[in-house]
A and B are shown apart, each in its own frame.
Chain A
Amino acid sequence: MAMEPSILTSRWKIPDAHRIDVAMKHGAWATLPAALKMAPGEITQVVKDSGLRGRGGAGFPTGVKWGFVPPPEKRNGKPVYLVCNADESEPGTFKDRYLMWKDPHMFLEGIVISAYAIGAKAAYIYLRGEFGFVRRRVDEAIAEARAKGFIGRNILGSGVDVEVYTHLGAGAYICGEETALLSSLEGKKGQPKLKPPFPAVEGAWRAPTIVNNVETMAAVTWIVGHGAAAYREFGTEKSPGTKLLSVSGHVLKPGVYEIDMGIPMMDFIMDTAGGLRPGRKLKAVVPGGSSVPIMTPDEVARATIDYESIHEVSGSYLGSGGMIVMDDTTDLAEGLANLLRFYAHESCGQCTPCREGTGWMFRILKRVKEGRATDVDLATLKNLADNIHSKTICFFGASAAMPVQSWLKKFPDEFFGRVHRTGKVGYADVGAEPPGGDKPGGTTQAAK
């Protein structure tokens, strides 16, 4: 297996790398002076050329996103804002916390460079409320960088001003959604905004705003420092670069890993992440944070870790790179009920299908888990998920629907085995492949 790359994590092994003096001995803030000599458009072009895709979960090309900021003459005199999404709350994801904790200067440098590239004089780092301790560290790093002239007015004598502030949330998963994050930053309930308008045109305080993830900002530092071509030496054609994975669940070495995109998923789980406990078999993997569809062992065996392969092989997504590994001891009905409790608890309550539907799906799953449901409930569950997916203001609806749809589709026995069979509902009614001979009326008994 190829050696693990270390471009975003290069300083993580160095003791006290969060201190600027230590970090600078190992290359921190060395990219900024060169970047300030480039035209903003040149930086955007380098990021575009690198093919960097947003690392928060959606995977949208970062340089393209920056390109949506209207030119100064079309901004009605409004400033541009950069907002760094450090809300990291997708279950299974914890890489940004590590990144900010181990090497805050890496992403701070990227923030200043990115702000300069898009013409923002102020950048806000929105951290989830539980990250109070992370915020302290980032604030210390900002103060250090300010003292060195990397942040603030007239950075390094260039005439460029970039202020960087941290802003603490207060406990709401939805604030990881970029428009909800902006509502929260504006001091409101963290509820997503209607699109259009998109944030790049009308975001925070109705001004053009770019929202980028922590890891994305760190990657910008490396890309601008080393060039797009060097970055493309990692990863695949369509998924260039490295990716931070957060691995949890039933593996022996859970944690954060930086990988070269395109490596086989099974090898990563079984080797890098330490594999399963002795005697256990792989049951399922959620590869990109709890919202993405689940993968079967067969799919895991065929997939490589990059945006395209995961989707082609399994219909799932790389997402945030939060990989949850489940072995054969896992009760998937219990697991899905657990996730839907999460979504029912986190729905912002704004739009109808999500507000009412997530709680409803959870209540049904609770009954399934407790053995108080019928197969008709499973069909209802699947239908509710379909009725929520893509009918809502933001992507949260789909995020709650995809687990339901995919877990039922790929592991129907886990659910049919837990309910009273009325015979009115078959596997097809929950979107699953009927096992040999199954027809509505359900002649095949689920394994139990």
Chain B
Amino acid sequence: MTDQAHNGEKVAWTEQELAEIEEIASRYPSRRSAMLPVLWMAQHKFGWLSLPVLELVAETVGVPPSEARAVASFYTMLKKKPTGRYVLQVCHTLSCALNGAEEIIRHIESKYDFDENGNTPDGLFTLERVECLASCGSGPMMQVGEHYYERLTPEKVDEILAGFESGEPLPTPRPEADEWQWNLQS
């Protein structure tokens, strides 16, 4: 199973990754609890969870391939299709919507040609509408990688995306707005 092609690569773990998986599995009384951690590892390594990757995960965790696919299909952050290099996940749930999330999304949509899967042709961006990311007090907001970009305005979005276009790396993950600090000033 593990020698099937995925994006032209071999689908297999390295020795080091296998050791890491064993360490993760040892944290739980049941090996299959390593399912989500291993799916995350697979996504980080292979970019997305193609069928050969899901078969590898299933074999690693000790479940039928159908189970790995069922689990992957349940969670929105696990990608079942290839994505662009920067996945722009813009929250559109109530609190962000009250503060202009739709305007932000429309603004991003106007900047690029996104296909039906939300990808730009150059493979740089994927635009996703996502549900509440627990940043309601600092909306509108989007998550890119692990980073939260908060209190967005179209101008701020332009600045962020220009940075990505010029190859800027993702910032050190942290929430950007610090509401508590803001409160302190009052």
> A and B bound?
yes
A-facing mask of B21-37, CB < 8 A → 1, else 0? Answer: 00000011110111111
Q: Inside 8 A of B27's CB, which chain A residues have their CB? A: 163, 165
Q: Inside 8 A of B126's CB, which chain A residues have their CB? A: none
Given A91-B94, A246-B136, A253-B183, A168 contacting B175 (CB threshold 8 A): no
Given A187-B35, A342-B93, A94 contacting B71 (CB threshold 8 A): no
B-facing mask of A169-191, CB < 8 A → 1, else 0? Answer: 11111000000000011111111
Residue of A nearest to B174 (CB): A133
The reply to whether A290 and B94 form a contact with Cβ atoms under 8 Å apart is yes
Min C-beta distance of A210 to chain B, whole Å? 16
Residue of A nearest to B74 (CB): A189
The reply to whether B146 and A133 form a contact with Cβ atoms under 8 Å apart is yes
Q: Inside 8 A of A339's CB, which chain B residues have their CB? A: 93-94
Residue of B nearest to A132 (CB): B146
**Bound-complex Cα distance A24 to B173 (A):** 25
B-facing mask of A115-133, CB < 8 A → 1, else 0? Answer: 0000000000000111111
Q: Inside 8 A of A90's CB, which chain B residues have their CB? A: 132
B17 lies within 8 A of chain A by Cβ: no
A-facing mask of B59-86, CB < 8 A → 1, else 0? Answer: 0010100000011001111100000000
The reply to whether A254 and B146 form a contact with Cβ atoms under 8 Å apart is no
B51 lies within 8 A of chain A by Cβ: no
Residue of A nearest to B30 (CB): A205
Q: Inside 8 A of A131's CB, which chain B residues have their CB? A: 134
Min C-beta distance of A321 to chain B, whole Å? 12
A250 lies within 8 A of chain B by Cβ: yes
A322 lies within 8 A of chain B by Cβ: yes
**Bound-complex Cα distance A345 to B27 (A):** 32
A-facing mask of B147-160, CB < 8 A → 1, else 0? Answer: 11000000000000
Where chain A touches its partner, the secondary structure class is mixed
A346 lies within 8 A of chain B by Cβ: yes
Q: Inside 8 A of A98's CB, which chain B residues have their CB? A: 179-180
A136 lies within 8 A of chain B by Cβ: yes
A-facing mask of B85-122, CB < 8 A → 1, else 0? Answer: 00000001111011100000000000000000000000
Given A92-B94, A167-B36, A130 contacting B133 (CB threshold 8 A): yes
Q: Inside 8 A of B179's CB, which chain A residues have their CB? A: 98, 254-256
Complex partner residue of B71 from A13, A101, A188, CB under 8 angstroms: A188
The reply to whether A13 and B184 form a contact with Cβ atoms under 8 Å apart is yes
The reply to whether A171 and B75 form a contact with Cβ atoms under 8 Å apart is yes
The reply to whether B173 and A129 form a contact with Cβ atoms under 8 Å apart is no
**Bound-complex Cα distance A330 to B34 (A):** 44
Residue of A nearest to B33 (CB): A187
A231 lies within 8 A of chain B by Cβ: no
Complex partner residue of A12 from B29, B139, B180, CB under 8 angstroms: B180
B-facing mask of A196-231, CB < 8 A → 1, else 0? Answer: 000000000101000000000000000000000000
A247 lies within 8 A of chain B by Cβ: yes
Complex partner residue of A171 from B33, B77, B180, CB under 8 angstroms: B77
Complex partner residue of A133 from B34, B61, B173, CB under 8 angstroms: B173
A405 lies within 8 A of chain B by Cβ: no
Min C-beta distance of B79 to chain A, whole Å? 10
Residue of B nearest to A9 (CB): B180
Given A128-B134, A170-B40, A322-B136, A92 contacting B74 (CB threshold 8 A): no
Residue of A nearest to B143 (CB): A130
Q: Inside 8 A of B77's CB, which chain A residues have their CB? A: 129-130, 170-171
A441 lies within 8 A of chain B by Cβ: no
Q: Inside 8 A of B186's CB, which chain A residues have their CB? A: 253, 274
The reply to whether B94 and A172 form a contact with Cβ atoms under 8 Å apart is no
- Chain B interface size, as a band, is 35 or more
B-facing mask of A354-384, CB < 8 A → 1, else 0? Answer: 0000000000000000000000000000000
Q: Inside 8 A of A185's CB, which chain B residues have their CB? A: 28, 33
Question: Considering only CB atoms and an 8 Å cut-off, how many residues of chain A contact the other chain?
Answer: 67
B137 lies within 8 A of chain A by Cβ: yes
The reply to whether B98 and A250 form a contact with Cβ atoms under 8 Å apart is yes
Complex partner residue of A255 from B36, B94, B182, CB under 8 angstroms: B182
Min C-beta distance of A306 to chain B, whole Å? 21
Min C-beta distance of A247 to chain B, whole Å? 6
The reply to whether A324 and B94 form a contact with Cβ atoms under 8 Å apart is yes
Given A133-B175, A339-B94, A205 contacting B131 (CB threshold 8 A): no
B138 lies within 8 A of chain A by Cβ: yes
* Interface of chain A residues 310 through 343 with chain B (CB within 8 A): 322, 324, 326, 330, 334-335, 338-339, 342
The reply to whether B137 and A256 form a contact with Cβ atoms under 8 Å apart is yes
The reply to whether A171 and B76 form a contact with Cβ atoms under 8 Å apart is yes
Residue of A nearest to B96 (CB): A248
B39 lies within 8 A of chain A by Cβ: yes
B135 lies within 8 A of chain A by Cβ: yes
B-facing mask of A130-155, CB < 8 A → 1, else 0? Answer: 11110010000000000000000000
Q: Inside 8 A of B97's CB, which chain A residues have their CB? A: 334-335, 338
The reply to whether B184 and A246 form a contact with Cβ atoms under 8 Å apart is no
**Chain A CB within 10 Å — which of B35, B63, B74, B182 has the most?**
B74
B-facing mask of A279-319, CB < 8 A → 1, else 0? Answer: 00000001000100000000000000000000000000000
Q: Inside 8 A of A247's CB, which chain B residues have their CB? A: 137
Residue of A nearest to B175 (CB): A101
26 A-B contacts, Cβ less than 8 Å apart? A12-B180, A91-B94, A91-B95, A92-B94, A129-B77, A133-B147, A133-B148, A133-B175, A163-B27, A172-B75, A173-B132, A186-B33, A188-B35, A189-B71, A189-B74, A205-B30, A246-B137, A247-B137, A249-B95, A249-B136, A255-B180, A255-B182, A255-B183, A326-B98, A342-B131, A346-B131
Binding site for A on B (CB under 8 A): 27-30, 32-37, 39-40, 61, 63, 70-71, 74-78, 92-95, 97-99, 131-139, 143, 146-148, 173-175, 179-180, 182-184, 186
